[in-house]
């Protein structure tokens, strides 16, 4: 059953996304607090730390996705080119932009405190997870 395969593929992608998010946050924190010995008020170091975390997390996501998520021979053929990596990054950058946009819009509507902010963040993460999966499935792996 093709739908079952797609659901399992998406679940594997969600796990890989979770691992990549942890790597992103860990690198971000290590850069900010240990490499730069800075804090959240040092905006330049925050921006650099976030960027480095995003790049490392994206690379981990790409490698793990090609290894464990998009596993068919045809997917692997499409996924291991420089062009595929560029499209993979492009989808990730759009996802990052969506995260920023939806979070800013959401905080304008509901504020940035308490349980509503947590729920907003979860909703945004879910939307961006779906965007990243669908965008990469179509653009990088040609819908296969």
Number of domains in the chain: 2
My answer on whether 100 and 57 are in the same domain is no
For 84-129, how does the pLDDT look when each residue is reduced to its tens digit (9 = 90+)?
999 999 999 999 999 999 999 999 999 878 899 889 999 999 999 9
Q: Looking at the structure, do residues 65 and 84 belong to the same domain, yes or no? A: no
Asked if 83 and 139 sit in the same domain, the reply is yes
CA 16 from centroid of its chain's CA atoms = 9
Residue that is last in its domain, among 69, 88, 114:
69
Structure token pair of residue 8: 């399992």
Q: Model-level pTM?
A: 0.86
How confident is the model over 25-80, as pLDDT tens digits?
Answer: 999 999 999 999 988 788 899 999 999 999 999 999 999 999 999 988 999 888 88
Domain's final residue, options 52, 69, 86: 69
| Alpha helices (H) along the chain | 2-29, 43-64, 73-79, 82-110, 114-139
- My answer on whether 86 and 99 are in the same domain is yes
Whole domain around residue 104: which residue ranges?
Answer: 73-144
28 and 89 share one domain: no
Q: How many CB atoms lie within 10 A of CB 14?
A: 16
Residue for token pair 């959401």: 106
The burial of 52, by beta-carbon neighbours within 10 Å (0-12 exposed, 13-18 middle, 19 or more buried), is given as: middle
């Amino acid at each position: 059953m093709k739908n079952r395969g797609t659901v399992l593929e998406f679940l594997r992608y969600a796990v890989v996304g979770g691992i990549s998010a942890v790597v992103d946050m860990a690198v971000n924190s290590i850069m900010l607090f240990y490499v730069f010995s800075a804090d959240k008020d040092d905006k330049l170091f925050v921006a650099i730390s976030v960027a480095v975390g995003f790049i490392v997390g994206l690379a981990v996501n790409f490698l793990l996705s090609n290894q464990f998520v998009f596993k068919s021979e045809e997917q692997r053929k499409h996924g291991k080119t420089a062009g595929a990596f560029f499209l993979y990054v492009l989808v990730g950058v759009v996802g990052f932009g969506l995260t920023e946009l939806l979070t800013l819009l959401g905080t304008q509507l509901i504020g940035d405190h308490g349980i509503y902010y947590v729920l907003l963040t979860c909703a945004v993460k879910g939307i961006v997870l779906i965007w990243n999966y669908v965008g990469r499935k179509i653009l990088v792996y040609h819908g296969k």
